[in-house]
Amino acid sequence: MMTWRNIWIVFAREIRDQLRDRRTIFMVAVLPVLLYPLLGMIFFQLAQVMGEKPSRILVIGAREPLEPPLFDETGFVSSVFVSPQDAVLLKVEFLSDEVLKARAGSASEDPGRALAEEALRTEHYDAVLYFPPGFAAQLADFREGIRQQIAAGLSSEANSEAKPGSEKSPEEAGEDASQKQQPTPRTVVVSRSAIPSPRVYYSTANDRSQTAYRRLVELLDRWTDQVMVANLAAARLPPDAARPFVFETADVAVQSGFRGAAVWAKILPILLVMWALTGAFYPAVDLCAGEKERGTLETLLSSPARRSEIVLGKLGAITVFSMVTAVLNLISMGLTGWLAFGHLPDFAAPPLFAIFWLAVALLPVSLVFSCLALGIAAFARSTKEGQYYLLPLLFCTLPLVGVPMARGSELDLGTALVPITGLVLLLKTMIEGQMTEALRFVFPVGLVTLGGCYFALRWAVYQFNSETVLFRESERFHLVAWLRHIFRQRAVPSGAAALTCGLAILLMRFLLTNILTRIGVSWNLVQQALISQVVVILLPVVVLAALLTREIRATFLLRLPSWRAVIGAVLLAVMLHPAFFTWQQVIVRLYPLDPVLKESLKQLTGQALDLRQLLLVMALLPAICEELAFRGFILTGFRSSLRPTHALIFAALFFALGHTILQQSMVAFAAGLILGVIAIQTGSLLPCVIYHAIHNGLLILQGSLGQSRWVSDPWIKAMMTWTDEGPTYHLSVVVFGILAAGLIFAWMISRPEVLRSYLAEEETGSH
């Protein structure tokens, strides 16, 4: 039974050891207090030196007066700038029409473009503004045309009223009088094709050129508004006719106390996760790998405390340092940001609710990363090796934190079930003050977070219970010896060979898919299936099996199964089909397919293929190739080095990653677990191939049936209903299929003599 006194003793011991370390005190307490104020000072000093540089603009043409004016003697007129300081950021040089004609010559169809490209290529200018010859005169003619058409319309109306004719009755005269009181709509047709458009030349390969383009376009937009006002004046219309009203805005966050929360909602959750990870990692490395180097780990393990008690004591100490590091960094950065940017109108101190919810989330976040850091540190041979593992852990964590923030993802049930991502989005929603929306997803986020803590803790305990992990000796890397070790033929592949095979399949799929897409090769469904299965999956397996193994039958489980295994595989595929089909629909609802991807898949699957060809290409071929790879070579290799459960999970994970679409990967992971259990329990690959082929075939047959068949067949109607999203199994059918599958599986393995012979043969082959 677990003794809390032993846990407390280990916890107090680790806290004292860490507090005696000056490096730990500096990293946890001193560095956060000094880091952000120092960064703030450096930022302001650099900002004074690295201010905005003026953009150099070359203006070609348009030296004749424009109305309204755009240029003066020195550059742009002051009326087109928002503030006088903006005029300093645009340095203008002019090139007249005469120089344009002299330099470009008559051979060039577009002399302005030729000069602009030359000016940008030599990097003397950041952008070029080109006005075609005669632009000012044509703009004036356009405005005069507007005035003349308005005048002509008024004159024709006056003449029609004064035209003599028959006298009108009093009733008609009254109607005319009422019509005169209402404005008569008139259509003024003025062709704008007569005015050649000015052009702005810039280069997207140069950051300075893009900045100049942005400044120049904003300036020209304001001048275009002035041109519009001048055109209205020519038509004798007030300037307010173009904009009869303006929108008024009001920020309700000022009264609600959440002003500036949007900024803090993007920053604080990310900082909490990153500093909780960093604050947990270095103490964990010192408490595990450091103790290996100091030789004190053996003394601790020989104490009366159990391994789980030692793990919990160390975990408590690591969690404390993780929480302290995160809190001090958040406080220091919050104060620095408030003092440095508090004067900005859209910036304010973090709301009190933000501080409260950060404090609530601090413990689970620190606990998750403390468990992960403890397991990694226990695996490391030395402190130096343990520090190398921080970068991969950061690389795995950053996408879960940064991608949802960068893409503007919202909190829903799908994102709430993603580890770390759901917690970050929940904190963001709470800091923004959307409490009603956030409370709906507190339970799933908390469940996923606590589940992550539990499995990470179990992994850390497993590391401490494994003597081969705790007392691994440091090894020097020798390339020739490493290659000899990898390519030494064994009876069955090793765990390293299985890992190499899985990574080779993923690399082949990534390279081949992107290369074919880049060169624009278009394949039909049959060609894509052949390349994906034979070249991407089967080829690496065949090559590695020929190089690294001697026993092909043992590697690929090429044994005749019992009749129960074959019949059971068929029945399992049929009974579990409703559950997998429903699971796929749930995943698509949680994580909808991208519309472009959905359309491309629809076009691909909609190709005219015979049903037998479709079953051969999409059901039988993947069943053979993927089972040889994932339940044959990879699962056998992992089983030679890991526990069966861990080997099963790793093989299913590679099977899931082999599917390029995320939604397919989630379904494939569950299917990979079931296929792995069948392979282990039956000792043969043939039941896995049968199950896989029937599983894919049922999905294909189900997709080939039309809606009329679903609503007319009585057997199908008894099991499924047709909705707007397609066919859906009844819940009773799904539950019955799962229960029946459990009974079928128990019947399959009720006679384990085949399994015992398989295990004995495998044990003999491994020796």
Among 43-47, 507-511, 546-550, 733-737, whose mean pLDDT is lowest?
A: 43-47
Question: pLDDT tens digits, residue range 108-126?
Answer: 556 667 777 777 877 678 8
Return all residues near 69 (Cβ < 8 A) that are at least 6 apart: 77, 79
User: In this structure, are 82 and 222 located in the same domain?
Assistant: yes
Check residue 764 and give its pLDDT.
Answer: 46
**Res 190 pLDDT > 90:** no
pLDDT tier, 419 (very low <50, low <70, confident <90, very high otherwise): confident
Q: Quick one: 617 and 727 in the same domain?
A: yes
Query: Does 438 fall in a domain?
Result: no
Across 584-593, b (16+ Cβ under 10 Å) vs e yields: bbebbebbee
Q: Which of 172-176, 339-343, 700-704 shows the lowest mean pLDDT across its residues?
A: 172-176
Is a pLDDT exceeding 50 seen at residue 8?
yes
Residues 640 and 754 in one domain: yes
For the full predicted model, state whether its pTM sits above 0.85: no
* Domain range enclosing 216: 55-155+193-241
Q: Which of residues 677 and 482 earns the better pLDDT score?
A: 677
Per the domain annotation, does 613 fall within a domain? Answer: yes
Residues 701 and 742 in one domain: yes
Question: Which among 372, 386, 369, 375 is positioned nearest to 289, based on CA atoms?
Answer: 386
User: Residue 436: pLDDT band by 50, 70, 90 thresholds?
Assistant: confident
DSSP state at residue 76: B
Same domain? For 571 and 466 the reply is no
Q: Tell me the pLDDT band of 187, cut-offs 50, 70 and 90.
A: very low
The pLDDT of residue 275 is above 70: yes
Residue for token pair 């159990």:
306
**Domain count of the fold of the chain:** 3
Please indicate, yes or no, whether residues 628 and 528 belong to a single structural domain of this protein. yes
pLDDT tens, residue by residue, 438-475: 888 889 988 998 888 888 888 888 888 877 666 666 55
Residue-wise DSSP of 697-716: HHHHHHHHS-HHHHHH-HHH
Residue 669: pLDDT band (50, 70, 90) is very high
pLDDT the model gives residue 186:
45
Residue 431 lies in a domain: no
Mean pLDDT computed over 249-275: 70
Structural domain includes residue 415:
no
Q: Does position 757 have pLDDT exceeding 60, yes or no?
A: no
The verdict on 544 and 622 lying in the same domain is yes
Which of 470, 501, 517 terminates a domain? The answer is 470
Task: Give the HSE-up count for residue 469: Cα atoms under 13 Å, Cβ half-sphere.
Answer: 18
Cα–Cα nearest to 112, from 96, 130, 99: 130
Say if strands 127-130 and 199-201 run parallel, antiparallel, or are unpaired: antiparallel
Residue 683 included in any domain: yes
Nearest to 472 by CA among 373, 382, 374: 382
> Percentage helix, strand, coil, to 5, in the chain?
70, 5, 25
CA distance 453 to 455: 6
Q: Is residue 173 part of a domain?
A: no
- 30 and 140, same structural domain? no
* Cis-peptide, bond into residue 392, ω within 30° of zero: no
Give pLDDT, residue 183: 46
**Of 114-123, 202-211, 388-397, 708-717, which range is least confident?**
708-717
pLDDT digits (tens, 9 = 90+) for 316-339: 999 998 888 888 888 887 777 777
Q: Is the domain of 29 the same as that of 109?
A: no
pLDDT at 767: 40
> CA nearest 79: which of 219, 203, 231, 285?
219
Q: Which of 241, 271, 300 is the last residue of a domain?
A: 241
pLDDT tens-digit series, residues 145-171: 777 777 776 666 666 655 555 455 555
Cβ of 145: how many Cβ atoms within 10 Å? Answer: 16
| Residue range 593-645, pLDDT digits in tens | 777 666 666 666 555 567 788 888 888 999 999 999 999 999 999 998 888 88
> Is 179 part of a structural domain of the chain?
no
Q: Is residue 483 part of a domain?
A: no
Mean pLDDT of the chain: 78
Could you count the other beta carbons within 10 Å of the beta carbon of residue 766? 13
Same domain, 266 and 233: no
Residues 357 and 309 in one domain: yes
Asked if residue 262 and residue 137 are part of one domain, the reply reads no
Q: Which helix (H) or strand (E) holds 56?
A: strand 55-60
Cβ neighbors of 39 (< 8 A, separation 6 or more) are 336
Last residue of a domain, one of 184, 206, 241: 241
